[in-house]
Chain A
């Protein structure tokens, strides 16, 4: 989206965007709390420590290596090859580490800050899906890979003038691939990485017994999950508004509608999930409703700055309808054990939001640009992440040993539990 030269940013816009980016980490905190609550009590400390450690590792690795490949800061022209007479800018070019940051324009500095938050969130999402069996060391190594290789590649393609951003310029496809809030770079990447992790690590022990249905392993703290949703909402409002300023160069007058669309999408999604679970199970399901709320927020990341309020409601409602159904399908029919629901909530809802942004765009070719971006995510990023994680798994095994899984990740990896004064009941789920 940065194909054109950066305009000069006024002091007022700079101050507002910086303020928004200081609030945006609440989205990361909220998702971390949701993931911890959806896991088991005997892995809660490891889950939250893992989130903090993943944020740290991803920030350091992105600063040292990834930012140069993303090409966020002004530097080289990027790595370009020519095909059919068109330039294909596939990788950024910059100095290590964070070379030229001090002299960069204000817009580029804020864009870099946005990418720091985005890489932290993207690297954190698979952690929730590997809960209760993914080793901390392997999780950190996977975060380092995402921050060094995969995220910079995608961020360059979409945000920093890469080939997806230039689809409009080179092939007359709307304004190029649009993703102002990170539905692709953060959520689809995180969701697809979660799928790779779940495939490689396998399901939790006892989740899919040889006979009968899968074993229900509910989250240990619904209050964490629901409070995490509220926390994430606050951060998401700031995240989407900051994304609209940075990646769409939206005027300040467009920000209230972006914020309202974010709220409407989440609200419609929650209402739809509430209704679906009420109809299917007789009572609304708290954890699925939380997933629905987050799915609405994720879908809004792609389109809140691009659609009308009615379209935001439609987008959110669709996300809220398919979220509980897809969670159920993945678990019961496809034997995919995803404790946090990241594959559905971040992966599927992110892809849906990107599609909806093209569907409701009023520019010719925009839908095709969005579909091309979706094809790149599923056709390139998923196999790439799977390959890298499968290689990593040979060096640093993802899965904890059976004894570690039995006693819980807290005791096994940290030597102490999150709730030392509580008596943890014996797990009856192993059959």
Chain B
């Protein structure tokens, strides 16, 4: 899972770059750049989750 998360990070970056190339309008660019950052956030969350050391469940 940690590698999947790390692979999603460049995907978010390419989404942001694609926005600059494909959209002439400022609004379209802004929306897609923010979407790219959101994808990166997801990837980061997955990578963090994948790197968490396994811990025994706490007993109540």
Contact = CB atoms under 8 A, between A and B. Distances in A.
Bound pair: A and B?
yes
Interface of A: 83-84, 86, 167, 171, 173, 199, 202-203, 208, 210-212, 334-336, 364-365, 368, 371-372, 374-376, 378-380, 382-383, 386-387
A386 B59 CA distance: 35
Majority SS of interface residues in chain B?
helix
Interface string B15-45: 0110011100010011001101100100010
Contacts of B13: 375-376, 378-380
B6 interface: yes
A371 B16 contact: yes
Interface of B: 2, 6-7, 9-14, 16-17, 20-22, 26, 29-30, 33-34, 36-37, 40, 44, 47-48, 51-53, 55-56, 58-59
11 contacts: A199-B2, A203-B53, A211-B58, A368-B29, A368-B30, A375-B16, A375-B33, A378-B40, A379-B11, A380-B10, A382-B44
A83 B58 contact: no
Contact of A84 (B14, B21, B37, B55): B21
Contacts, number: 78
A378 B33 contact: no
Nearest to A365: B26
Nearest to B45: A334
Contact of B44 (A84, A208, A368, A378): A378
B50 to A, nearest CB: 9
Residue picked from B13, B36, B40, B58, most chain A C-beta under 10 Å: B13
Contacts of A375: 12-13, 16-17, 33, 36-37, 40
A379 B40 contact: yes
B9 A210 contact: no
B31 to A, nearest CB: 11
